[in-house]
Structure 1
Amino acid sequence: MNRTASALTLLLLAVVGIGATYLMQRSSAPHIAAERRLADSRKLLDLLTADAYDNQPLQQPLNLADAQLSHSRLLAGYRATKAGQTVAVLLRNQTEGYAGVIELLIAIDANGKLLGVKTLKQTETPALGGPIGDWPNHWLQAFTGKSRGEPSDAGWALKKDQGQFDQMAGATITSRAAINAIHDALRYFDEHRLALLGSGA
């Protein structure tokens, strides 16, 4: 086989290889996207037990009015229902921590009680405020069962600020930011209850 034939054979093999790779990527792209959506769904919905709802909350985002709150900003909201009845509202909320943005997911039941809080994004100092990103999170679990009025507005603060909550060790600013953001979300829920719960309230 002469040099030209060898070069053409190599070129043909390269084209076939590139084409096969391209076709494989194209055919697997929908599957990869579906798996990514499923992973995102698990990450966002693991504040709720799997049997607590029967809809697809992430596929029906809520229209949030007045999203700029006192200490934070709402990014998105979702409604979880079972048999047509609203069982929970999930609010994605962003606040400013010590080292940057903290994004929280806050689950509230139909009566305005906190079901759970999860950190979705944070850039806090690893040994100080960074543990707010741990999941499950012992410090954030202390807020479960609280509501806008329980404790009172004055109680929604650190104990060192005459409130009711402990802070994460060495992370006063991070702790204050999270408490304020959670209280913001509960207050927003209370003030927009009918719109958030919808007809399945």
Structure 2
Amino acid sequence: MNRNLSVLILVLVAGLGAGATFFLQYATAPHISAEQRLIESRNLLDMLLPGSYDNQPLDQPLALKDVALSSSTLLGGYLATVGGKPSAVILRSQTIGYEGTIELLIVIDVNGKLLGVKTLKQSETPGLGGKIADQPNPWLQSFIGKSRVDPADSGWALKKDQGQFDQIAGATVTSRAVVSAIHDALRYFDEHQPQLTGSGQ
């Protein structure tokens, strides 16, 4: 009898512990989810100027998923609007660098000008291609204001390849990959602007 009672008490204690753990996870899950969304939102939207959007772009994903381009892949995107009118398109792009994949965030205004580029993920060589993830990043900032036609297609290359852009020192492969991915994104935007901004619906 004592043994049965001990087993019963043990089962009850274990059940109470499991129930308390479940309740705690259930109660805190919305808060954790909200915090994760806030962090993701800040990470994805910090290149948009204050006042340049008044919607929640993450709630307006674009119908993009694994769109293969010439040198990169578009993983997805979002639309920023102000007063109900499109103001910018945010594209997530993935390309192959020297050590592996590089994931970029590329922000383009409705006129096709680049508002900003940042690295979300990378595995490049520290101190060389890994500099692509530095924040702030003067090399990535040098692309701001460029568009598909400025420079012309032939200019979207490194200077050592007869293009217009400097490279990250010691990181030719990384630099080429990023320049090509940015050019891909601008070209895609130019060719699909009505669908991306909703003005073609």
- State the alpha-carbon separation in 1 of the partners of residues 24 and 65 from structure 2: 44
- Alignment root-mean-square deviation, CA: 2.2
Q: With the length of structure 1 as denominator, give the TM-score of the two structures.
A: 0.91
> Which residue is 2:91 aligned to?
91
Question: Would you say the 8 A contact 2:155–2:164 is kept in 1?
Answer: yes
AA paired with 2:174?
A: T
Look up the equivalent residue of 1:159 and give its one-letter code: K
Aligned equivalent of 1:55: 55
Counterpart for residue 21 of structure 1: 21
Q: Is the 8 A contact 2:68 2:74 kept in 1?
A: yes
Give, in whole Å, the separation in 2 of the partners of 1:193 and 1:65: 16
Q: Is the 8 A contact 1:85 1:200 kept in 2?
A: no
Within 2, Cα distance between the matches of 1:200 and 1:134?
37
The one-letter code sitting in structure 1 at the alignment partner of 2:124 is: E
Aligned position for 2:129 = 129
Give the alignment's TM-score, normalised by structure 2: 0.91
Aligned residues: 200
Structure 1 residue runs without a partner (length 5+): none
Question: Once the two structures are superposed, what CA deviation does each residue of 1:101-145 show, in whole Å capped at 9, x if it has no partner?
Answer: 111110000111000001111111112101111222111000000
The match for 1:192 is 192
Contiguous gaps of at least 5 residues in structure 2 = none
Give the partner amino acid of 1:131: K
Deviations 1:5-31 (A, max 9, x none): 777656544443332222111111111
Identity score, percent:
66
CA spacing shift, 1:142–1:128, aligned 2, 3 Å: same
Which whole-Å deviations, capped at 9, do the CAs of 1:140-170 have from their partners, x for residues lacking one? Answer: 0000000001111111111111111110010
**How big is each residue's C-alpha offset from its partner over 1:153-188, in whole Å with a ceiling of 9 and x where there is no partner?**
111111111111110010000000000000000011
2:102 corresponds in structure 1 to 102
